[in-house]
Copies of this chain bind each other. A is one copy, B any other.
């Protein structure tokens, strides 16, 4: 269906004006028929729709956006789309928006602030009606551009005192400490951390380590590896912990359920027991967490609610009736299952 290879004659597209000509009305009436049918007489409406069906007319939303100054586009930036944490967030987020007639312009930013800034500016050129970002840490240039854009901006999956506009998430430090409290209450006197290349994951593990040591005096082994949030990486980290860090028992706090699953796999592959020898705690409470053997003890964050709430608040702000909240802490929940 590619356009004729470089031909000059463009394939005369169907416009509202054309529909109007066929239906015997002006272009404006066609526009009205589509956006405000109640203001057009039934007979006219019928003729217009007949013309639309006949021609297969699809309105040009670009022109509409330019004229109305509303793009009905929401841009969303996440570090990675293949990471279930973020993809499920987007899923919930876009559902609410789709229902309200918005579409999603999506980009991956990796974990680099520079890439994010570039992506933000590119997105802003599309004049989205609002924007969703992951996390609260952005480059100065990004913040400036965002503020200049003068649209609602929600930062998800973290909280901050000074968001660009507003944020919905939870405290990663508090989550790390909660796991440390859990570990201590459970009687662990040695601990280790497994984490991926993700600033937020590192903040959780740092808070965990500090609290765990303060509480128990025990050490916290760290493989010091730069990893993806994958099962394999979890296995590797667990292996490194045992082979190189001399970690021979205790509780392991992993930055994602996937890595936790990998850690368990490695422990069991070596004939050791979970949770007896090594207790494992994940993060995220992914769907599969109840399906592992033993079922995974983890930290649940209600991503569904996070996404939905972000969507509805964004819509509210677009319509000028936002709550005015600057930071919404949705919290998290320790889910104790069998692995710790």
Contact = CB atoms under 8 A, between A and B. Distances in A.
Interface stretch (A15-23, A118-126, A202-210): A118-126
Interface in A226-256: 230-232, 234-235
Chain B CB within 10 Å — which of A88, A91, A231, A317 has the most? A231
Interface stretch (A25-33, A35-43, A214-222, A287-295): A287-295
A325 interface: no
Interface in A258-304: 258, 262, 265, 268-269, 287-288, 290-293
Nearest to A94: B108
Interface in A47-82: 56, 58-63, 65-66, 69, 71, 80-82
Sorted from nearest, which 8 A-B pairs have the closest CB atoms? Answer: A231-B288, A5-B320, A61-B125, A2-B317, A232-B291, A231-B291, A1-B165, A106-B106
Report copies per complex: 2
Interface of A: 1-6, 10-11, 56, 58-63, 65-66, 69, 71, 80-82, 84, 87-88, 90-91, 94, 98, 103-108, 121-127, 144-153, 164-165, 230-232, 234-235, 258, 262, 265, 268-269, 287-288, 290-293, 317-318, 320-322
